Every structure is written in C-alpha cells, then in structure tokens.
Amino acid sequence: VTSDAQAPFTHELAMCDSDQVGARTKIWAYSHVVAGAIVGDDCKIGEHCYIEDGATLGDRVTVKNGALIWRGVHIDDDVFVGPRATFTNDARPRVEVPVPADELLHTHVGRGATLCASVTVLPGVRIGIHAFVGAASLVTRDVADHAIVFGVPARPMGWVCCCGARLGDNLACSCGRRFELSNDGLIEQPSTAELREDDEAPAR
Amino acid sequence: VTSDAQAPFTHELAMCDSDQVGARTKIWAYSHVVAGAIVGDDCKIGEHCYIEDGATLGDRVTVKNGALIWRGVHIDDDVFVGPRATFTNDARPRVEVPVPADELLHTHVGRGATLCASVTVLPGVRIGIHAFVGAASLVTRDVADHAIVFGVPARPMGWVCCCGARLGDNLACSCGRRFELSNDGLIEQPSTAELREDDEAPAR
Amino acid sequence: VTSDAQAPFTHELAMCDSDQVGARTKIWAYSHVVAGAIVGDDCKIGEHCYIEDGATLGDRVTVKNGALIWRGVHIDDDVFVGPRATFTNDARPRVEVPVPADELLHTHVGRGATLCASVTVLPGVRIGIHAFVGAASLVTRDVADHAIVFGVPARPMGWVCCCGARLGDNLACSCGRRFELSNDGLIEQPSTAELREDDEAPAR
C-alpha cells in the first residue's frame, strides 16, 4: 500500500503517462514522462524535460530543466543530469532513411555521475560511475569511472572523487576517500577508517 | 476537401496559431507554431518547439524537441532538425539597438539535410542539400551540398550520402549512389541501375 | 496606482508566481517566473524560460526562448539573454553531496551586455557592461567591459561598441562613440559632440 505522501507527484501542467514512476518522485511543470518510461524513487524531474518510453532512470536521479532523455538511455542511481543535457539515440538521423527502433543505440550513465549544463551525449557511449562531464561538452566516446572530461569533443582532464572534488596525483581526497587506477578508471579503496573498523570488528 | 484524417494535429497542450500548416502534420505538447509560420505536409514537430511567423518549413520535415526556428529561417523538404537545434536571425543583438524586421538575416537549409542535436546556426548561412551537421556544432558559414561539418565553429570533415553513410575517396556509397564534386559540393550521378534502365527504355 | 496597461502580462499558459515583476513586463507561454524572482520593468521573457527565486533582472532585459536563469544570477538593465542561454550556480553538482543554498555561486551580467544563442555560463563569473558573448560559447571566467568573447571555453577576441559594432584598433566606432582601455576593459569617452556641447554650455 502506497500512501499519498509516497505517491509520485506530477505538476498540473506536466504530463506523466507512465505507471512506472517511483515513490516520492516529483515531475515539474511542462515536463512529459511518456508511457513506458521507467523512473525510480525519489527522483526530481525539473521543468521542460522529456523522458521517452524505453528510457530508464534509477533512484534519486536529479534531472534539471530542459533535459531530453530518449529511448535507449539508461541512467543509474544518484546521477545529476544538468540543465539542457541532451541525449541522442540515432548516430546518423535522416528523414528519408528512418532507423528501426531496435537499431537505436543505447547509452549508459553510471551511478553517481554528473552531467553539467548543456552537455550533449552521442549515442552508444558508456559514462562511468561518478564521472564528471563539464558544461557544454560533447561526449563522443566512453568516459572512465571517476574521470573528468570536457570540451567539444570531450577529452579526459583528470579524476574526481565521489564528493565532487578533483583528485591530485596521489588519488586521495580530503574527504578521506582513496582510489586506485583500474582498467575502467578509478576504483575506490577501503578507507583507513574502514580498515580500522574491520580490525576492531571481532572486539564488538 | 480535407478529411479529419488529413487535417494537421495539434496536441491539446500545444498552440498552433497558423492556418498554413499542411496535411497530416503533427504538433506535440508545449510547442508553438505562430500565426504566419508556414509548415508543409507530413511534418513532425516535437515538444517544446517554437516556429515563428516568417519561418517556412517544407514537407516531411522532422523537428525534434526544443528546436527554435525564427523568422527568416527556411527549411526545405525532408530535413531533420535535431533536438535543441537553435537558429538565429540577428547577427549582433543589442537591446538598445533593435534590428528592423526587414534587416534580419535569412538562413536556408537544403533538402534532406541533417542538423544533429544541440546545433546552433548563425544567421545568414546556407546549409546544402543532404548536408550533415554534427551534434553540438556551431554553423558560422555556408555548408556545401553533402558535406559533413562539425565543431565550434563547424569545419568540413568529409562527405555524406543521402542515406547518411560517410563517403570514401571514390565518392561511391554502398547503397549504390555515386557522386561527383561540383562547385556547390557533391552532386549525385545517375546510378548504374538507372543508366541500364535508360538504355532499355526504348524496348518497353 | 498602476493601471492595467502598466501591469505585467503573463500568458495564460505561463506561470508567474512572483509579485516582484515590473511594469509592462511580458511573460510568454510555457515560462515560469518563480515566487521570489525579481524582474524589472519593460522586460520581455520569451517562451520556455525559467527564472528562479533569488535571480534578479533589471529593466528592459530581453530573455529569449528557453533561457534558464537560476538563483544567484543577477542581470543588469538592457541585457540581451539569447535563446537557450543557460546559467549555472553550482560548480560541482553531485546528487549525493548537495550544496547548501548559501554556498551557491553568484553570477553578474553588466548593463547592455549580449549573450548570444546557446551560451552556457559557469557560476561565479562577472560579465562586463556591453560585453558580447558569441553563440554557443562557454563562459568560464570574467569577461571585460565591451569585450567580445567566444568559443568553448570563451576567449577574448576583440572589442565591441554599445551599438554592437566591432571596434578597430583606434577604439572609435562609426556611430560616434570613442573608448579607452581601462582596468576593467573599455571605458566610453565623452564624444566630440558632447565635448562641444559642454564648451557651449555657459552660453545657454
């Protein structure tokens, strides 16, 4: 049983045609969530957004005003989709040669990633967990976990922590997190605090 | 006599103030086609679009969500106008020095061309037939027929077929079309198949 | 006493929740001026715009369609905010680490400045009076008074007059205005005409 307080909220000037929108998610004015779109719990969908059937959003995703999320775009939990962020799913659109729906390309955005304002994402890429795509960038290829990229086209420019702070060469953040390089980008290491807790665990 | 099935469709949350919208054209939610705008038959106008009076669209034009098409913009048949594509008509806008309407610049987009997502077009340019403007590009000068351009500002990067495939140095496409270089870009040549048909024509 | 002709106008498909919108200002369809936003007199707010509480606009500001103006953005008189112009106020947005409202960065746009179509502005910058930001640019740092900037990121490319004309090396415009270089960019000099008027003033 879902109480009214748990039900998703749709502004009276928005349209939500999907019955797969999670608890406490809010959809603001002039936005449209199409029937068949899947949106998780506690998401915030700003104004003037469009979320098409065949798109999926995890929990706690923030979608700022004017973002366009098409069929084939899959966004994991805790992602920030900045204002005017524009996805795509057709690599060479032509009116005279429409692409069959099952040939549209799929795009994945990993958990905790940030797409800043006015980002455009070409179809078929994978944006890594906690990656950070700078404003006005064009993403044309995969982005590694925890990578900072920006530009047109976007180029790797460094590494970023879960908390948003840029990482120095030692891959340690002032927030306490430490990272190591892996094949997919950075991977978080257990923190000193956690290691100590583990050491002490038997004593509890 | 136009039956209901032939009449243009305007979503109940869109505004169509123009009486010059063609048969079977669809205008989706939160879009506005201003009185005086001319839109051809079988067009698809997505959500959050704006088409101003003094703009003209041919037949079968696809206008994806959030595109802005101002007075002085002329779009030929079968053009794909990608999401967030933004035209302009004033080269140096100043609030204190408004440009008289008859001095606004005109922009032409040729038949079958593609403008990908988030493209911005400076005023006064001509985009050639079947040209292909890559995502997030800024078009600052004319684009040749069948040219691929991209970047900020957009630069010529090769040639593209009507079907959307990139052309190699021999200017022949796997779809069967062949091209030759002309002053305006590429010009399509009669295909081998068509030449054979012509040869056989007297026998019919 | 404000007569009806002086009252701000809000289109029936727009939302104006602010009671601090000036005389004769017009807010067009599908736009939202949030309660707490301050908008001056004689402004033109196009369609699909969003003006958040904590944003301030001076008098005679033109905001073209689809512009996004967030809390912390302050726009002086006579500014042209082009279509799709997108401001920001959070330098490193993360869903998991929300920035407190009082730590959001502030952005200032000086009197008479122009932001062309599709401009994105990073938070915390100051754009000088009568500056001119070219289309599709990303503003990442302060822009001097009367500077022309463009690109991703935007770079200084010359100087521009109040009237919108580009200035040559002599910093004099065909409209009659003359400028000198100062620490903040260009500063307008009294024109020859004004100097003559001043000379003649005692005779009046």
The pLDDT score that the predictor gives to residue C193 is 55
The rounded distance, in Å, linking the Cα atoms of C117 and B140 is 13
Residue B52, φ and ψ in degrees, nearest 5 = -85, 160
Q: Could you say which DSSP state residue B134 is in?
A: P
Q: pLDDT under 70 in chain A at which residues?
A: 1-3, 192-204
Mean pLDDT in chain C?
93
Mutation pick from B30, B31, B79 vs chain A, by most beta carbons of A within 10 Å, is: B30
pLDDT in tens, B130-161: 999 999 999 999 999 999 999 999 999 999 99
CB contact under 8 A, A88 and B83: yes
**Residue tagged 């007059």 (tokens):** C161
What's the gap between Cα A39 and its chain centre? 12
CB contact under 8 A, C68 and A84: yes
Q: Distances in Å between the alpha carbon of C117 and those of A140, B95, C121, C135?
A: 23, 14, 12, 5
Strand partners, C94: none
pLDDT in tens, C129-178: 999 999 999 999 999 999 999 999 999 999 999 999 999 999 999 999 99
pLDDT in tens, A110-159: 999 999 999 999 999 999 999 999 999 999 999 999 999 999 999 999 99
The rounded distance, in Å, linking the Cα atoms of C33 and C57 is 11
The pLDDT score that the predictor gives to residue C79 is 98
Residue in chain A closest to B84 (alpha carbons) equals A86
Q: How confident is the model at residue B36 (pLDDT cuts 50, 70, 90)?
A: very high
At residue B102, the 3 state secondary structure works out as: helix
CB contact under 8 A, A93 and B116: yes
Mean pLDDT in chain A?
93
User: ipTM strictly over 0.85?
Assistant: yes
Q: How confident is the model at residue C179 (pLDDT cuts 50, 70, 90)?
A: very high
Cβ neighbours for C168, distance < 8 A, ≥ 6 positions apart: none
CB contact under 8 A, C47 and B32: yes
Name which of B29, B79, B83 is nearest A86 (Cβ-Cβ): B83
Name which of A13, A114, A152 is nearest C94 (Cβ-Cβ): A114
Contacts of C30 in chain A (CB under 8 A): 30, 48
CA A196 to chain B, closest CA, distance in angstroms equals: 49
pLDDT in tens, B102-133: 889 999 999 999 999 999 999 999 999 999 99
Chain C residues 175-194 with a CB less than 8 Å from chain B? none
Chain C residues 63-82 with a CB less than 8 Å from chain A? 66, 68
Name which of A84, A95, A118 is nearest B62 (Cβ-Cβ): A95
Q: Distances in Å between the alpha carbon of B25 and those of B63, C4, C173?
A: 11, 39, 48
The pLDDT score that the predictor gives to residue A4 is 79
Q: How confident is the model at residue C57 (pLDDT cuts 50, 70, 90)?
A: very high
CB contact under 8 A, C48 and A30: yes
CB of C58 closer than 8 Å to CB of C75: yes
